[in-house]
């Protein structure tokens, strides 16, 4: 009967193997952590990167606003030209635009009603 108590059961042997494996993994991870240097960039580097990104965004906005204003001026010029030189075409374009806005609004409203 004393021999029976000395033989580890399968569960105890498995637990011992798992604990040994866990210890080996901890030692390996600790060695890995010691071997890898972690460097956090300085605050100046972050400020420099933010400054660069801000400058890129500012230039992009200026370009987009310039393009928008150029297109707006062209459209308004064309509308004023047609109003004074070809009033019939101007009113036809205004009528078509009004019909389009009404059609699109009704279509969107019906879509929202059907969705709900």
Does the residue 43 lie in any domain? Answer: no
Asked whether residue 32 falls in the same domain as residue 2, the answer is: yes
What domain range includes position 72?
48-85
Dihedral class, residue 97 (left if φ above 0, else alpha if ψ from -120 to 50, else beta):
alpha
Is 33 found in the same domain as 1?
Answer: yes
Measured in residues, the chain has a length of 116
**How many domains does one find in the chain?**
3
Tens place of pLDDT per residue across the chain (116 aa): 445 455 556 677 778 888 888 999 998 888 887 877 777 888 999 999 999 999 999 999 999 999 999 999 999 998 888 888 888 888 898 899 999 999 999 998 888 888 87
**Cβ-count burial of 90 within 10 angstroms (0-12 exposed, 13-18 middle, 19+ buried)?**
middle
């Amino acid at each position: 009967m004393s021999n029976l108590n000395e033989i580890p059961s399968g569960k105890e042997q498995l637990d011992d193997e798992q604990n040994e494996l866990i210890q080996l993994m901890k030692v390996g991870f600790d060695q890995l952590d010691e071997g890898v240097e972690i460097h956090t960039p300085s605050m100046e580097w972050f400020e420099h990167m933010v400054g660069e990104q801000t400058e890129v965004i500012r230039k992009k906005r200026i370009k987009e606003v310039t393009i928008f204003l150029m297109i707006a001026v062209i459209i308004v010029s064309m509308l004023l030209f047609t109003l004074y030189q070809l009033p019939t075409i101007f009113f036809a374009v205004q009528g078509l635009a009004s019909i389009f806005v009404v059609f699109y609004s009704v279509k969107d409203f019906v879509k929202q009603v059907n969705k709900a």
